[in-house]
């Protein structure tokens, strides 16, 4: 995995959708950005607010999602947008949003990927930074039931082991070498999933007022999606891999390493990124990461 040219989109592209948690109508606008800009969000409904870099330094703790903030400006549910950008290797892009939460679309990143591909992807005259994992690092959940390991590899590979125990969703495991091609064909269309028994609780908390079974995968007690069909037999683990791509994008660079996630979620993924960044020097890369040649 060698150095490559940075990339951005050729022209602006706009998407509209409904936010999963807040149920608000949202407009997303993806704009080309110059070399070295990175990925960032800007709240157009908050005049004068600064852009929010999509890096771990600006990530804030949330349950079941990934959010970034800069001052009073916060953007929730960024993981699918970041997964699409990182998965397609679009390094420099400003994402304008007219509300506090990215739309959910159909629960996947497919609509975003299609829009970005339609906008066109172009190379830029600057090399993209790649961090290579040079020694293993692992983070574990407080109860010890989930963990994420990063270890050296010549490619960017993610392995996910999904195991919720007895229940509607069977154990699933999948390994993917992440490239623009594999992301677009094998991960982008994998949808968010939830158990039917969880829906009532989420709505009692004010979430998902406009969300239906067509907007994500809702699994009934029989293990089948309610009013929907699977796109892959192992769609759940593919969506977990999609989430990992989005969360690991908070490193702000390409990654060369093998990541093994066992029952992890957004919080543990962010913990791993923080652990990796915490072992990188301010002036040079050392410890768990080095800048790849």
Which one of the listed residues 80, 239, 266, 284 is annotated catalytic? 266
pLDDT band with cut points at 50, 70 and 90 for residue 205: low
Q: CA–CA separation, 226 vs 216, rounded Å?
A: 10
Tokens (6 digits) for 63? 């349950």
pTM assigned to the model = 0.93
What string of DSSP letters covers 5-33? EEEEESS-EEEEEEBTTT--EEEEEEEE-
247-279, pLDDT tens digit by residue?
999 999 999 999 999 999 999 999 999 999 875
- Whether the predicted pLDDT of 79 surpasses 80: yes
* 18 pLDDT more than 80: yes
Q: Determine whether 266 is an active site residue.
A: yes
pLDDT of residue 293: 54
Tokens 């069977």, located at residue: 170
Phi, psi of 290 (to 5 degrees): -140, 160
Does the structure show a pLDDT above 80 at 137?
yes
Q: What is the pLDDT confidence band of residue 209, given thresholds at 50, 70 and 90?
A: low
**What average pLDDT does the structure give for the chain?**
91
Closest CA to 246 of 88, 92, 83, 116: 83
Rounded distance, CA 236 to CA 259, Å?
18
Q: How confident is the model at residue 105 (pLDDT cuts 50, 70, 90)?
A: very high
Q: What is the pLDDT of residue 55?
A: 97
Tokens of 213: 């079974």
The residues near 181 (Cβ < 8 Å, ≥ 6 apart) are none
**Segments making up each domain of the chain, as ranges:** 5-129, 130-190+215-291
Burial readout 28-65 (b: 16 or more C-beta within 10 A, e: otherwise): bbbbbbebebbbbbbbeeeeebebbbbbbebbeebeeb
- Quick one: pLDDT at residue 22? 85
Q: Any idea which fold 130-190+215-291 has?
A: lpxc deacetylase, domain 1 (3.30.1700)
Burial (Cβ within 10 Å: 0-12, 13-18, ≥19) of residue 204: exposed
d(CA 82, CA 102): 11
Percent of the chain with pLDDT over 90: 77
For residue 243, name the pLDDT band (cuts at 50, 70, 90). Answer: very high
- CATH, domain 5-129, list 3.30.230.20, 3.40.50.12500, 3.40.50.150, 1.10.1520.10: 3.30.230.20
Asked whether the beta carbons of 80 and 261 are under 8 A apart, the reply is no
* Residue 264 to residues 202, 244, 269, Cα–Cα distance (Å): 21, 9, 7
Query: Residue 182 has what pLDDT?
Result: 98
Q: How far apart are CA 89 and CA 83, in angstroms?
A: 10
The span from the CA of 158 to the CA of 178, in Å, is 7
């Amino acid at each position: 995995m060698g150095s490559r040219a940075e990339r951005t989109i050729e022209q602006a592209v706009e998407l509209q959708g409904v936010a999963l948690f807040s149920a608000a109508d949202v407009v997303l606008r993806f704009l080309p950005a110059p070399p070295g800009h990175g990925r960032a969000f800007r709240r157009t409904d908050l005049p004068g607010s600064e852009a929010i870099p999509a890096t771990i330094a600006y990530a804030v703790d949330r349950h079941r999602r990934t959010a970034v903030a800069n001052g009073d400006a916060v953007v929730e549910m960024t993981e699918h947008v970041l997964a699409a950008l990182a998965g397609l290797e679009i390094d420099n892009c400003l994402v304008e949003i007219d509300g506090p939460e990215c739309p959910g679309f159909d629960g996947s990143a497919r609509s975003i990927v299609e829009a970005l591909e339609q906008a066109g992807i172009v190379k830029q005259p600057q090399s993209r930074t790649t961090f290579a994992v040079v020694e293993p690092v692992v983070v574990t959940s407080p109860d010890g039931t989930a963990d994420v390991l990063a270890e050296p590899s010549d490619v960017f590979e993610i392995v996910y082991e999904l195991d919720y125990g007895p229940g509607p969703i069977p154990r699933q495991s999948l390994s993917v070498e992440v490239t623009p091609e594999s992301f677009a064909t094998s991960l982008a269309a994998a949808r968010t999933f939830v158990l039917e028994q969880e829906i009532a609780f989420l709505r009692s908390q004010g979430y998902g007022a406009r969300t239906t079974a067509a907007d994500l995968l809702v699994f009934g007690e029989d293990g089948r999606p309610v009013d929907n069909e699977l796109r892959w037999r192992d769609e759940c683990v593919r969506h977990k891999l999609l989430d990992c791509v989005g969360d690991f994008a908070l490193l702000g660079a390409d990654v060369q390493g093998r990541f093994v996630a066992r029952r992890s979620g957004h919080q543990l993924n962010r913990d791993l990124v923080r652990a990796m960044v915490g072992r990188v020097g301010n002036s040079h890369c050392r410890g768990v990461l080095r800048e790849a040649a």
